[in-house]
């Protein structure tokens, strides 16, 4: 009897030991997994911080490059095959600033007409102009017949309100009544958003934008204006004297031969960490440039 009891006790003790070992193993594995996750999170955070440090260095490069005349040349740097940096500067004022549509709170008729010509050229319905203007004007009155104010947006899912201020970013167009993804994708290469009024730079504007400057400018005529032999024009008067421009009925309003707004498009590739970003820069009167907006357009981790 005593011997059977001892064997039972030893069996219970063995099971207890096995349970303790199993619990210890589970605990150790769990701790190890959490430790691995902590290491991975820390690694990703460090890589992210390092990528943004590289991005800031590319911004400094752009600020310096804009002080000279060779800012159009893109940058590509590779460090021992582990880090690759790319950067390119574009002149935003070769496009149409959405915030030109209102000047001192009032509709700028000439700029609205240019926007309508762009929509027509892209085979888009100009009806969206009423809603675009309602989005940025300060009042709550709906423009007839295709405008939209709070009473329209409050019925959306999810509901929202009209901005009633100038565009902070061109992507806001997607919030405007009637602006579909298709419309946005077609407009996006030719429009941008900058604070205040920014004239179109005729030296850097593509043919599609130059064609919007007046009625009845054909695609071929706009292409000739883009290839004008006098470019880059040092004075706006020289632009109007060019044979490709004379007689096109283009007004002087909102045009320039210089730019103050630029876009830096950059990328940082660090193996498993890849950062894409855009920074908008403004060139001041002293020729120094400052970053006025930045956005991360893509962040991938392998």
pLDDT in tens, 142-189: 998 999 999 999 999 999 999 999 999 999 999 999 999 999 999 999
| Three-state DSSP string of the chain | CHHHHHHHHHHHHHHHHHHHHHHHHHHHHHHHHHHHHHHHHHHHHHHHHHHHHHHHHHHHHHHHHCCCCCCCCCEEEEECCCEEEEEEEEEHHHCEEHHHHEECCEECHHHHHHHHHHHHHCCCCCCHHHHHHHHHCCCCCCCCCCCCCHHHHCCCCCCCCCCCCCCCCHHHHHHCCCCCHHHHHHHHHHEECCCCCCCEECCCCCHHHHHHHCCCCCHHHHHHHHCCCCCCCCCHHHHHHCCCCCCCCCCCCCEECCCCEEEEEEEEEECCEEEEEEEEEEECCCCCEEEEEEEEEEEEEC
| Three-state DSSP string of 72-114 | CCCEEEEECCCEEEEEEEEEHHHCEEHHHHEECCEECHHHHHH
Higher local confidence (pLDDT), 37 or 135 = 135
Integer Cα distance of 101 and 210 in angstroms = 17
Give the count of beta carbons closer than 10 Å to the beta carbon of residue 127: 12
So where are the chain's domains?
199-254
Integer Cα distance of 124 and 37 in angstroms = 50
pLDDT in tens, 263-295: 999 999 987 778 999 999 999 988 899 999 998
pLDDT in tens, 215-240: 999 999 999 999 998 899 999 999 99
In the predicted structure, residue 18 carries a pLDDT above the cut 70: no
| pTM summary value | 0.84
pLDDT in tens, 108-138: 999 999 999 999 999 999 999 999 999 999 9
Helix axes 109-121, 128-136, angle to 10 degrees: 140
| CB of 61 closer than 8 Å to CB of 75 | yes
| CB of 91 closer than 8 Å to CB of 71 | no
Lowest mean pLDDT among 32-41, 65-74, 156-165, 179-188: 32-41
Higher local confidence (pLDDT), 22 or 247 = 247
């Amino acid at each position: 009897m005593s011997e059977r009891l001892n064997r039972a006790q030893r069996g219970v003790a063995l099971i207890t030991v096995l349970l303790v070992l199993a619990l210890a193993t589970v605990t150790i594995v769990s701790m190890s997994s959490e430790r691995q996750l902590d290491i991975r999170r820390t690694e990703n955070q460090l890589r992210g911080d390092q990528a943004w440090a590289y991005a800031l260095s590319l911004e400094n490069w752009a600020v310096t490059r804009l002080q000279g005349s060779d800012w159009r040349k893109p940058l590509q740097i590779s460090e021992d095959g582990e880090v690759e940096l790319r950067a390119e500067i574009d002149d935003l004022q070769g496009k149409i600033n959405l915030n030109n549509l209102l000047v001192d709170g009032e509709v700028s008729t000439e700029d609205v007409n240019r926007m309508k010509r762009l929509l027509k050229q892209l085979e888009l319905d100009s009806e969206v102009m009423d809603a675009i203007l309602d989005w940025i004007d300060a009042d709550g009155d709906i423009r007839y017949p295709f405008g939209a104010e709070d009473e329209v947006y409050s019925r959306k899912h999810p509901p929202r309100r009209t901005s009633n201020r100038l565009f902070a970013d061109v992507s806001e167009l997607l919030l405007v009544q009637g602006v579909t993804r298709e419309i946005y994708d077609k407009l996006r290469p030719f429009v941008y958003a900058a604070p205040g009024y920014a004239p179109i730079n005729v030296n850097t504007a593509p043919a599609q934008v130059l064609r919007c400057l007046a009625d009845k400018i054909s695609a071929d005529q706009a292409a000739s204006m883009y290839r004008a032999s006098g470019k880059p024009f040092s004075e706006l008067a020289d632009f109007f004297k060019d044979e490709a421009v004379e007689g096109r009925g283009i007004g002087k309003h909102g045009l320039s031969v210089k730019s103050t707004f630029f876009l830096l498009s950059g990328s940082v590739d660090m193996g498993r960490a890849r950062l894409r970003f855009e920074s908008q820069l403004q060139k001041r009167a002293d020729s120094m440039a400052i970053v006025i907006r930045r956005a991360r357009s893509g962040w991938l981790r392998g």
